[in-house]
């Protein structure tokens, strides 16, 4: 076997590999000797099939196996002998006709093209100085949460009187059939549906047209489905709903007391308030972690500069750009991007793709240096949690994860990233800073140079 480095610019390498036909022939003979005792061919006793007959009947198929195995072994040998860390799967390009190689008429010759992981020294996490914004909910906020919870759990009683009409905030019980161009469409009908007017639960414009409706009245509701409606076949379509209002009920406010807490399965109002406070605190802890992680990533991005594997950047950009184009077609681009040209958007999102790749490599290297591992138990738990999202299909989804290494890799990546982030935060100098709720929950802008 002959291995020659043909080119080596930046992170790109191309190696040429040549395996003489004579070597392949030797490998074929060894393969024939290996499989012959296992063959059961009519007319021959088990294990007594002549090698010449095996070569005549199965020679080409076995040679194809030999060629495939040789290519795999040769590729691995190139990586090991040159101590290469590929950034992705190598590209293999055969020279000449592979059929001639299988027929024993030509040497096996092919090129191995690959991109290497950049060689860089990651920053020592202990040198990082970070600020973690923190906010603690007060009694007033707990009271607001309690009031909202009581509102969500309020009851409704039928309106009475001679001239009952539905008001905003009332609950109406309705039967309806939705039609487009006079034809009923799938998923557009229901009986006994309960709808609180003003809740925004139905299509925009639907609830408003039921205000003023009386019990046992018929109302034709005309709406237009939003352009970004989740059911693509309905998006942007005009529809009419034939609605039968069967009942109108007024809200009855629920008093937040011990009885209300017990109704929710909680021992007392004080315990309910405690749980609400803990829930609010957990939300703010998550927001605080998000802000800290963002600050950490910004710091890592600013402190590392090295060549990036072009194919990794292109793959990341392609995924981002596909989403951008889909959002553009649905007129769902962020307001700050709506008036930009494709050239401007491409420039900005390419920088974001480069940032993501750079940060991914930095986190991976810090994790490697510090021997961060995702345990099988952590992966199994992530698989279980993801599968549970699919309800009745949970077991089927879980089995899919167990049998699909690529799907497992998609779950493993965020676990690994979080563990590396935790490690960095543990080693870095982190100062807590009290901030307001608005400051904590405000959306961060991109770092300077990554778009407006």
State pTM to two decimals.
0.72
**Buried/exposed 356-375: b ≥16 CB within 10 Å, e otherwise:** bbbbebbbbbbbeeeebebe
3-state secondary structure of 57: helix
Say if residue 254's pLDDT is above 50. Answer: yes
In 307-393, alpha helices (H): 310-329, 342-369, 376-388
pLDDT score at 452: 46
For the chain, counts of helices (H) and of strands (E): 12, 11
Is pLDDT at 46 greater than 80 in this prediction?
Answer: no
Sketch the domain layout of the chain as residue ranges.
Answer: 2-115, 156-252, 262-441
Cβ-based burial of 86 (10 A; exposed 0-12, middle 13-18, buried ≥19): middle
Fold type of domain 156-252: Chitinase A; domain 3 (3.10.50)
Using 50, 70 and 90 to split pLDDT, how confident is the model at 57?
Answer: confident
| SS3 at position 66 | helix
Euclidean distance between CA atoms 19 and 107, whole angstroms? 6
Give the tens place of pLDDT for each residue, 350-396.
Answer: 999 999 999 999 999 999 999 999 999 999 999 999 999 998 899 99
What does the pLDDT read at residue 166?
Answer: 94
Chain centre to alpha carbon of residue 34:
45
Q: What is the distance between the alpha carbons of residues 138 and 273, in angstroms, rounded to a whole number? A: 11
Looking at the predicted structure, is the pLDDT value of residue 450 above 70?
Answer: no
As given in the structure block, the two tokens for residue 431 are 């100062």
Q: Looking at the structure, give the CATH architecture of the domain made up of residues 2-115.
A: 2-Layer Sandwich (3.30)
Q: Which residues contact 288 (CB under 8 A, 6 or more apart)?
A: 132, 133, 134, 135, 440
Residue 292: enclosing H or E segment and its boundaries? helix 269-302
Kindly tell me the burial class for residue 47, based on how many C-beta atoms sit within 10 Å of its own C-beta (0-12, 13-18, 19 or more).
exposed
pLDDT tens by residue, 166-207:
999 999 999 999 999 999 998 899 999 999 999 999 999 999
Dihedral class, residue 105 (left if φ above 0, else alpha if ψ from -120 to 50, else beta):
alpha
Average pLDDT, integer, range 77-96: 92
What's the CATH superfamily of 262-441?
Trigger factor, C-terminal domain (1.10.3120.10)
403 contact partners, CB below 8 Å, separation of at least 6: none
Rounded to 5 degrees, φ, ψ at 14 are -130, 125
Residue given tokens 């345990």 in the structure block: 375
Q: How do strand 129-134 and strand 429-434 relate by DSSP bridges? A: parallel
Q: How confident is the model at residue 448 (pLDDT cuts 50, 70, 90)?
A: low
């Amino acid at each position: 076997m002959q291995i020659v480095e043909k080119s080596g610019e930046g992170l790109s390498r191309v190696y040429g590999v040549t395996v003489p036909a004579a070597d392949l022939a030797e490998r074929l003979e060894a393969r024939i000797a290996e499989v012959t005792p296992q063959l059961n061919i009519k007319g021959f006793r088990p294990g007594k099939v002549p090698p010449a007959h095996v070569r005549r009947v199965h020679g080409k198929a076995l040679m194809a196996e030999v060629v495939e195995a040789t290519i795999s072994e040769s590729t691995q040998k190139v990586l090991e002998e040159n101590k290469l860390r590929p950034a992705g799967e190598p590209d293999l390009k055969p020279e000449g006709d592979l059929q001639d190689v299988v027929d024993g008429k030509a040497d096996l010759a092919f090129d191995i093209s690959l991109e290497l992981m950049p060689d860089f020294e990651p920053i020592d996490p202990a040198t990082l100085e970070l600020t973690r914004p923190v906010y603690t909910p007060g009694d007033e906020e707990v009271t607001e949460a309690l009031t909202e919870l009581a509102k969500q759990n309020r009851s409704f009683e039928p309106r009475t009187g001679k001239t009952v009409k539905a008001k905003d905030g009332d609950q109406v019980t309705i039967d309806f059939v939705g039609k487009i161009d006079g034809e009923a469409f799938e998923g557009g009908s229901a009986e006994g549906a309960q709808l609180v007017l003003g809740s925004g639960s139905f299509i925009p414009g639907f609830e408003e047209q039921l205000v003023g409706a009386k019990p046992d009245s018929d109302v034709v509701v005309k709406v237009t489905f939003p352009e970004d409606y989740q059911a693509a076949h309905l998006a942007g379509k005009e529809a009419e709903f034939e609605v039968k209002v069967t009942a109108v009920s007024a809200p009855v406010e629920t008093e937040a007391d011990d009885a209300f807490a017990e109704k929710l399965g909680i021992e007392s109002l004080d315990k309910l308030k405690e749980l609400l406070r803990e829930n609010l605190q957990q939300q703010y802890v998550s927001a605080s972690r998000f802000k800290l992680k963002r600050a950490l990533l910004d710091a890592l991005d600013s402190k590392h500069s090295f060549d990036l594997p072009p194919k990794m950047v292109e793959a990341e950009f392609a995924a981002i750009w596909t989403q951008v184009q889909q959002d553009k077609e649905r007129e769902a681009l962020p307001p700050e991007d709506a008036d930009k040209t494709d050239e401007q958007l491409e420039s900005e999102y390419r920088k974001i793709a480069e940032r993501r790749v750079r940060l991914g490599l930095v986190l991976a290297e810090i994790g490697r240096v510090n021997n961060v591992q995702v345990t099988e138990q952590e992966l199994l738990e992530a698989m279980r949690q993801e599968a549970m999202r699919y309800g009745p299909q949970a077991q089927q989804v879980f089995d899919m994860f167990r049998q699909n290494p690529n799907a497992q890799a998609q779950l493993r990546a965020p676990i690994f990233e979080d563990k590396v982030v935790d490690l960095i935060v543990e080693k870095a100098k982190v100062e807590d800073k009290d901030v307001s709720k608005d400051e904590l929950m405000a959306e961060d802008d991109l770092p300077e140079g990554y778009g407006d």
